[in-house]
Structures are given as C-alpha cells and as structure tokens.
Amino acid sequence: MASLQAPLTIISDNGSGSHPFQPPAATWFDEDPLHFVALEARPRSYGDGASSIGDDHAFRSSVISGVMSIDSTVYTNSSTGYSIKGKEGDDEDPSEIVKYEAFGLPKDDTSDKNNDGMDDSRHVLSAFDAAKKAAQDNLRTLCTEISVSFPLPWKLATIEMASPSILDDDDTCATDPTVMESRRIPILAKFSPKMSNGMRFLAMQYTPTMVRIATVEGEDPTIANRSVNKRPSFRKISSSDIDGDYSANRNHWTIDLSYHAHPITSKPEQMPGFGGSARNLFSKKKEEGVNPDITSIIGGGILWSARGVSDDRITSLDLIVVATTSVIVYNINITKKQLIKTQIFPHDMAASFWYESTTRTLVIGSYKASRNPNNGGDEHPLSRSSMSLFSEESQGQDESSKDTSFPSAVMEMKTLFFSKTSSIVEKLPKFSIGTLREEEAKDEDEHHELMLLSGDFNASEEKLQQGEDSESSIVLPTEIFLLKLYGSVYCIELGSMGSGQGIGFTKLDREGGCIHVRHQKFEALKGTKIDDVESMISVGVLDNLLCIFSKKNETTYFIDVADIFSDDQRLFRESVERFDPDMHDESLSFLAPRYFLDTSGQGMLYEVGLSLPLLLPNVPPTACIIPFLMRRNVPKATIRTHIMGRFTSLIKKRDMPSLMKWIGVIVDRYSKSADGLKFDFESTVSLLSRSSLTSLNDMKDADVSSTVGDIMVPLSCGQVLTQTEMLQMIFLPHAVLAIKKGDDSLLRFVSSFSVRYFVELERRSLTPSIALQCLVVALLWRTGENAELTSFLSTWQTQWTITRRRRQMDLPTKTGMYFDNPGAVPYAEILFKIAVEGIVDKASVRCDPSATRQLISYATTILLGCGATSLAVKCLLSAGRLNDAINVCSKKIRPNKVPVVPEETSFAGGTSSKDFFRAAVSNARKQSSVSERCKTFYLLHCFLQQWDPSALEMDSRQVKVSRRKASLAHMQRPSFRGLDDYDTMMVKQSVLAHDFPRFPDELFGGKESACCLKLRAMFGYVQNVK
C-alpha cells in the first residue's frame, strides 16, 4: 500500500448524502483491493472548538504521525483514571468524529486491457500521447466504494500545532502564537473486506508500534447510515454525546507492540487502557517473536486476509501484522466480538517484507551478519546463519570485541502462504537473495592488491573491510519485488549480479514445496542505483509480462518469465525495449500493478495496457517468440495475424534455419497438448479439398488479411499452434500465392518447409493430420520431386499395410488410428484426383508415371484398409487402372458368394460390368497395337465371367435401328434425321451389349475384321440387325 506524497483531490460520482466528501487530508493507494483510501481534512478550529463547516475552502493542514508522535503518557494518563484535562476520576476521554472513504475504479475498467485496436493516431503521436488523448475524450470519475464516519479519541483524531507568529504592520512586535488543531494523519489506513454478515473494519497505524482497529460497518445498519449522512461535528465531544448503540456494538481494538502483542478493547471514543491492564508499562512482556524494546511494525505491514467459501462469502477475517521480529496473526471473533492473537511466526530481524495479495504470499527479508574473513577459519563469509543486527547475543559484550554488523550482500527470505479457506499457514524453505553480487575492481592493479590483502594475514582489518564491503554490493529492499506472473509468484531481484546488472528470478512453488531460481543477463540498468531518486525505476506487470520502467533511460523493458524458466534454448529470452519519452514524463507516477498517475493538472489516472503492434517491431525478426505471442491475453485472431506476419517475413527471405528453429519449438509444445492432437485428428477433413491444391479459385492467399478469421480452434487447445492453424495460416496461403503468381521458387520453398514440418511431427511419434499429408503430396507432386514423393509414398504405404495386418491379427499397433480416422477415405479419393489432374500453371511440374503409379497404389492401400473395396475399384477404373481393379475384385470373389439368381446381383456405383468395359475401351485407345487391345479385352471377358456372369447372358430388348444405310464417310458428316428414319425392333444380345450398345470396332481393324467379329461374339454383340 502506497502513501501518496501529496494528498489527492478526489472527484467522485457519489450522489448519496447531502454533504459530499471534502478535500482529503491524506490519501493512500491500496493495491488490495484496488482503491484509494482518503481521510477527510479537518477545517480550521476556533478558540471555542467550533468549526467553520460551511466554508468549503477553509484552511486545512495535516501532520503525518511519526515515531513516538503519540506519547506513552497518553496511555498512562488514560489508564490510571486521569483524563487529558487532568481531572482525576474522569474516565471519559474527549473525542471527535472522523470520516474515511474509499474510491475505486469503475467496475468495467479494472480488467487487463490490450491496446491492439489502437487507431492510426499512434503514427502521429507517441503511444502514450495517443492513449491519453483517447482517455481524456472519455473521462470517468472514481466511484465511492466505502464511506464511513466514526468517533476517535481526541488525541488520535487531532493534533495541536502552534501557528507561526504574525507580525504587526510596523514590524516591531508580533502577536502571540496561536494553537491550531489539525487532523492527525495515520501512517497507514486500510479497510478490510466486507464480511458476509455485513461487518467491515478499518486498521489505522499511528506509530511504528501502535495500530487501532475500528469497526466501521455492520450489525446495526441504522448507525452506519446515520454516521455517513450526518455532517460530522468538529468539536470536542465525550462518550455521552455518542449514540450508545455505536459504542456498544462497535468496539475498537488497539495493539501496541511496545507493550505486548495482545490487543486491548476500548470504546470508540476512548483510549486503550494499557497501563491499567495486567500487561502494563512497568511489566513489558517478552514472548517468542515479540521484544517490546526492538519490535516494531515494518512500513506497510498491516494486512487483511479474508477466509471463506468464496470471495463473496467471507466468514472469517484475519489481521496480519508484519513486525521486525515476527509475523503476528489476529482473528476477529464475531461471536465474542473480540480480536484474538492466534498465531505468531518469529523470524530474524527483518529489513523489509513483500506481499502478493491474490495468492496470499508473504515474504520477509532479513540480512545476514557479515563475517570478517580476517578473524581466521575457512568458513565463507556468507555461510554463517542469519543473525539479527541487534542480536541479544551481542549485548553485554565489549564494543571493541564486536564484529562489524554491516549487512552483507545476502538477504535471507522467509516465505509464508496464507490460505483462503483455513487458518493453516504453509511455509517454504528459506532462500537467499544477492548471492551472485560481487564487487568489481576498478582496475587490474587494484584487483591484484585485493588478492594480496586477502592472502596476507597481517593485513589490517580496515583495509580488508574496505576491499570486500562495498555499498554497491548490498541488496536493498527497493531492488526486490514480489509479483504474480502466469498464476505463480516470483521474487524478482534487480541487479542480481552487482552494479545494476542482471535480474534474479525465484519462483515460489507452493504445490511442490520448493523454489526455482534463474538469473538473466540484463545490462540495461548497469551502473544504475535502483534506489536513486533520479533513476526512478518502477516495476509492474502488464499481461503477465515483467515491466521495468526507467525514467532516466525513458525506456520500458518487457521480460517474459515463462521463457526465462524454459529449458528450451531456442526461445527468445532477452528483454524487449520500448523507447517512449512521453510515457516517462516527470509528472507521471507509477502505481502498481499497471497504473500511471498524472500529478500535473487534475491528476488523471491512466490504466496502461500492452499493445502488440507497438511492441513487436522492437523484437528481432528471427527471434522465436511464437510461445510468447500465444500466451498473450488478446483475441486469437490478433495473435494469429502477428504470427502469420512473422512467418511471412521469414518465408520471403527464404530463411529456412530460423523457420526450422521455430518449427521445433512449435512441435515440442504441440506434442504435450492432448486436446490439440484430438482436434487435428477429428477436424481436418474439411481442409482436404483445399490441401489438394486442385481448386484454387475459392482459396485465399497470404495477401488476404482475413485468412486467420476462418480458423476455429477450441480454447481447450491451449497455448499451442495446431496442425490446422499451421495449414490455414502458413502453408496453404503461401502455396496458393506461389501457384497464382507462377513463382516456382516460392512453391519449392513452401514444399520443403511443409515436408520438414511433417518430419518433425513424425520424429516425436505424432501422427500428421490427413490434410497435412495431402498437402505434402500435392506440393511434391507439383514440384516434380519424383524421388522424394516416391520414397514418401512407399514408406507410408508400408506403414498402412503393416497396421492393417496387425489389426487383422488383433495385435496392438502404434499407428492403429490411421484406419479410424474419419478423413482416411476422402483422403484416398483426393489422391486419385491428384493423380489424374492435368497441371497447367507455370509454377508446377508434373511427376513422372512411376510416381503416379506409386500414388495410386498408396491410395488403393488406404481404401482397402478402410474396407472401401468398391470405392477402390471405382477410383481405379476412373484412373484407367483396369488391371489393378480386376486384381482387387479377383481377390474378393468367392464361389460360394456368387448369387444364384441373377436378378439379386447388385454392384456399388462405378463397379458394374459396364464400368469395367468402359475402362477397357479407354485403355485400349491408349494402346498402340491391336494385339495389346485384344489381350486387354480377353482378360476382361475372363474376369466378367466370374465377377458378373449375368452381364454376358443374352437378352431380347426393343432397340431403335436406323433405316438408312449410308457409307462411313456419310455417317461422319453432320445431318438431321427425322423420327421416321428410325425403326424399333426386337434384338437379342447380351445385357452388356444393351447397356453399352456401341462396340469399338475401329480399335480392332473394323467391323468386318476377324478380331472384331470374335470379340463381338465373346461379349454378346449382334453382328447384323435385320
């Protein structure tokens, strides 16, 4: 929680109440929850104690409480029966009403925002100026979340100050100084979450040891309404002036560690009775973790921890006080209306602490005592156990015999995890920060001098201390940050390697009960003192990225811890630098985790988002940032657009080494996604037609920006690129672009790229999708890569054959899902289509006949393995592979399966006798000799006698016969015949002859040749129609 140096003037939209909130005396920014806490200023008091309530511009002043700002005599007088006025026996303390409010951001503005939709104004103005302009056009005010008024004792509510002397006009004498009453400002004020029963509390720290907890809401709502709407009175009041129900129902508790750690209950308008209790000033109680002489609250060490079923149902509330010697946990017992100390966790004298509110992670840092190596012994200076800088073990020793208690570079960290549902507090093993910090020698001579000093046991202790201890090597609390990134908590150390170099990352693994440490080279802040005011180093989080804001360098540095902790050396690990002077203006103050407060003018508050279009140009084009992009909290279409753009730039440069590095990273992550594998297995059938590259008119190329909008990938696939996305974003658009432009060089590059991606999948025992296999075949087919295509097809055909045979024997198969794939049959049909397609574009070169035969054989194997025998025969016949079709059918013919009744014979479409005969005619036309044609028809006749003998049986049917007997030359000329030129007569010939009436006489030497007459008779064609 940050205390703002200058009180902010809060402009709220609070319309409730007749008296709006006045300009505050103090303002705090609370990160948990995200709101501003403000204490209303006290108008000028007059001599009678009355206030000028009606004057909104009344003079106001305030004093922040400091060390011993509330003297211990206050407690002594109050507890022994003396009031502030000194009247013995009067136990009523004068009090005053104070008012606190909390102002939050509009509810719809508190989410992470990414400015990828920024308009073109960013090209004219800077990024931050454009964002400011857009924000100022739609200003929104803070909304009032909490507004409470309650009484406090006079000594806690106000402070008396002597105003400066006022000189007369003649400058000869001055009036007596007057006493002015002003609002006393706590060091810290923090509201608790609201419990399910409506109760809320406010913790106010007034001194380094004293905290007061006030009940500000709950139990009696009429009191809350009355206290908020009623204008507070700025006069001294006693307990009789306060509603009795308020005091009865809303007790206050006070904790003062200078006495003991137990809370004292008092009425709201009274001071606590420390002196009257058993634990009084004269018997300060020492207990484990609490020493009244040295224990104090670390700055900001007042935390609330709510527990319950959910965030909306809070059933228990803990107050956590982080002190220099321990962490003390108090629980508010609603039933008994008490604040009870429940747990205490002692630790060494702490220098600072860090708290991450969403995960309830608390880390306490304690310096280790530095051991002088000149005292003898081989123990390393940093190997000594942690010691308090004010350890009681050193008390009573002679000052001359004490070691210098100067903190070393190491800070020991203790971690506590608080639960959201129970009182159990988990711990992690202690770890150290600053272990890699070393002092750099100014020159070589000084380096040797230090070595000699360390080896000379007679060297003076002062010189050795000067050589080893350096202020620059000390890890400071301002260099350590505790942040939540990607759901895990990280302890960040800036300058982990000394002199501002390096960043140390310590991942606090709560589930594993361990820590993970990484150190990253980072020289951007080399030589910079992190705690220097002029450097103005701030650290925040934007979209799970670590952001380092340097006003001195006018640069923002973005670091992704996910890549830092990855063991994959191919990933881009460097910081991304964004130079933007306007964002680092002196008037801007950073408020964690992602807000900038403009202290000039009206004090605008800006929420900063991550803009990928502005960030990515600062990344090298060859850097592998695909996982980085996939982790961003932006729409998937935006991510795909950026990924496609980076791939396109490398493809244009023909940078295969960089692309292969990217592909290796993508496939490694894809192999771990079960949902991605399942999605590709089931959903790539729709891409088969496009992957065949046979229908280019309906396909989009890489120049079309809407390509990524057609991709529909479920969210369950996670942060991986599926095969479907690779096809639609990378391979298909660039392949289509190359074909349309006739760029054979680009087409060959895309072909090689897709094959390498295919091989990377197989290396990891992953099954390439059907659509990817189809695209690889189509690209190899179009680029004329005969040897590679044949090898590819032969290998996969062998795998399919082995899989089919093992499945028939009920043996387990590694590739058993091939035949279960719903796209296997359409894939085989597409392969037949590719094999018979005629290529006419300029970028493509067709493969030779051997590759064609291998392609058809591979497609046939797939269809047979899937049980689609009829479809295989049909495709073979359409491709003119008559002998292959006959061989497939011959293996399926069984004598006992031949139907007895011809009428019951039925064949699948494309596998009838007529289809076989048509394929035979087509093949015969391609053959050069009559003997080859006769052989083909003779083989067909033998096959049909077994496959479909009914096709060769004679059948009498009505046939139209031409009456005109013209010559062959006359028949070839176009003519118009009337209906009376034909006659109908009964003709007896085979069923096949009726279905395919025209026999190809010209292929066998004419109708009168002996070969032709013989073949016509074999197939049942009539010789002459009389």
pLDDT reading at 833 higher than 50: yes
**Runs of H (alpha helix) within 80-148:** 127-136
Cβ within 8 Å of residue 822, ≥6 positions away: 682, 685
Give the SS3 label for residue 111: coil
Written as one letter, the residue type at 1 is M
pLDDT reading at 402 higher than 50: no
Over residues 615-640, mean pLDDT: 90
Of 380 and 353, the structure prediction assigns the larger pLDDT to 353
- Which band of pLDDT confidence, cut at 50, 70 and 90, is reported for residue 178? low
pLDDT reading at 963 higher than 50: yes
Q: What is the pLDDT of residue 47?
A: 41
Q: DSSP of 932-948, one letter per residue?
A: HHHHHHHHHHHHHHHH-
Contact in structure between 860 and 884 (CB atoms under 8 Å): yes
Which backbone phi and psi does 750 adopt, to 5 degrees?
A: -65, -40
Of 814 and 334, the structure prediction assigns the larger pLDDT to 334
Residues 798 and 478: their CA atoms lie apart, in Å, by 65
Contact in structure between 268 and 95 (CB atoms under 8 Å): yes
Over residues 630-648, mean pLDDT: 89
Residues in the chain: 1026
pLDDT reading at 84 higher than 50: no
984 sits in which H/E element: strand 982-990
pLDDT by residue (tens digit) across 235-273?
A: 444 444 444 444 445 789 999 998 888 999 888 888 887
In this predicted structure, which of 21-30, 112-121, 306-315, 378-387 has the lowest mean pLDDT?
Answer: 378-387
917 sits in which H/E element: helix 913-926
- CA 41, 47, 50, 51 dihedral sign is negative
DSSP state of 177: P
342 sits in which H/E element: strand 338-346
DSSP state of 848: P
24 sits in which H/E element: strand 24-31
Q: Which two tokens stand for residue 207?
A: 């001194």
pTM listed for this prediction: 0.77
**Runs of H (alpha helix) within 279-320:** none
First to last CA, the chain: 111
How far from 459 is each of 402, 676, 772, 1018, CA to CA, in Å?
Answer: 19, 67, 74, 120
Q: What is the pLDDT of residue 123?
A: 38
In this predicted structure, which of 301-305, 555-559, 815-819, 826-830 has the lowest mean pLDDT?
Answer: 815-819
In this predicted structure, which of 741-745, 845-849, 960-964 has the lowest mean pLDDT?
Answer: 960-964
> For 333-360, b where at least 16 C-beta lie within 10 A, e where not — what string?
ebeebebebebbbebbbbbbbbbbbebb
- CA 215, 217, 219, 223 dihedral sign is positive
Using a pLDDT cut of 70, give the percent of the chain over it: 68
- Which band of pLDDT confidence, cut at 50, 70 and 90, is reported for residue 912? confident
Q: What does the radius of gyration of the chain's CA atoms come to, in whole angstroms? A: 44
Over residues 93-102, mean pLDDT: 87
pLDDT reading at 516 higher than 90: yes
Residues 509 and 354: their CA atoms lie apart, in Å, by 16
Contact in structure between 488 and 507 (CB atoms under 8 Å): yes
Over residues 430-439, mean pLDDT: 81
How far from 57 is each of 97, 183, 705, CA to CA, in Å?
Answer: 20, 16, 59
Written as one letter, the residue type at 1007 is K
Over residues 962-986, mean pLDDT: 53
pLDDT reading at 443 higher than 90: no
- CA 280, 283, 284, 286 dihedral sign is negative
Pairing verdict, β 982-990 and 954-962: antiparallel
Pairing verdict, β 537-542 and 576-579: unpaired
Over residues 488-500, mean pLDDT: 87
Q: DSSP of 666-716, one letter per residue?
A: HHHHHTT-HHHHHHHHHHGGGGHHHHTT---TT---TT-GGGGGG----GG
Angle between helices 824-836 and 869-878 (to 10 degrees): 10
- Which band of pLDDT confidence, cut at 50, 70 and 90, is reported for residue 109? very low
- CA 619, 621, 624, 625 dihedral sign is positive
pLDDT reading at 914 higher than 60: yes
pLDDT by residue (tens digit) across 451-491?
A: 444 444 344 445 444 444 455 578 889 889 999 999 999 99
Over residues 632-642, mean pLDDT: 87
Written as one letter, the residue type at 506 is T
pLDDT reading at 948 higher than 70: yes
pLDDT by residue (tens digit) across 282-311?
A: 456 678 889 888 999 999 999 999 988 676
Mean pLDDT over the full length of the chain? 75
Angle value at C-alpha 652, between 648 and 655, nearest 5 degrees: 95
Q: Which two tokens stand for residue 770?
A: 């059907």
Residues 994 and 959: their CA atoms lie apart, in Å, by 9
Q: DSSP of 379-429, one letter per residue?
A: --TT-SPP--TT-GGGTTS-GGGSPP--EEEEEEEEEEEE-SSSS-EEEEE
909 burial via Cβ count (<10 Å: 0-12, 13-18, 19+): exposed
Residues 428 and 567: their CA atoms lie apart, in Å, by 24
In this predicted structure, which of 162-171, 337-346, 484-493 has the lowest mean pLDDT?
Answer: 162-171
834 sits in which H/E element: helix 824-836
Give the SS3 label for residue 534: coil
Over residues 979-1006, mean pLDDT: 78
Residues 768 and 831: their CA atoms lie apart, in Å, by 16
455 sits in which H/E element: helix 444-455
Which backbone phi and psi does 134 adopt, to 5 degrees?
A: -65, -40
pLDDT reading at 630 higher than 80: yes
Over residues 700-727, mean pLDDT: 70
Residues 331 and 71: their CA atoms lie apart, in Å, by 28
Q: What is the pLDDT of residue 137?
A: 67
pLDDT by residue (tens digit) across 751-778?
A: 999 999 999 998 998 888 889 999 999 9
- Which band of pLDDT confidence, cut at 50, 70 and 90, is reported for residue 175? low
Top-ranked range on mean pLDDT: pick from 41-50, 705-714, 920-929: 920-929
Q: Which two tokens stand for residue 453?
A: 């000093």
3-state percent breakdown (helix, strand, coil) of the chain, nearest 5: 35, 25, 40
In this predicted structure, which of 584-588, 892-896, 920-924 has the lowest mean pLDDT?
Answer: 892-896
In this predicted structure, which of 84-98, 494-508, 540-554, 929-943 has the lowest mean pLDDT?
Answer: 84-98
Residues 643 and 529: their CA atoms lie apart, in Å, by 38
Q: Which two tokens stand for residue 665?
A: 């990273």
Top-ranked range on mean pLDDT: pick from 48-62, 682-696, 735-749: 735-749
Residues 566 and 24: their CA atoms lie apart, in Å, by 48
- Which band of pLDDT confidence, cut at 50, 70 and 90, is reported for residue 960? low
Over residues 775-801, mean pLDDT: 87
Cβ within 8 Å of residue 867, ≥6 positions away: none
- Which band of pLDDT confidence, cut at 50, 70 and 90, is reported for residue 130? low
pLDDT by residue (tens digit) across 10-28?
A: 554 444 444 455 678 888 8
Contact in structure between 771 and 684 (CB atoms under 8 Å): yes
> For 470-507, b where at least 16 C-beta lie within 10 A, e where not — what string?
eeebbbbbebbbbbbbeebbbbbbbbbbbbbbbbbbbb
Cis peptide before 177 (omega within 30 of 0): no
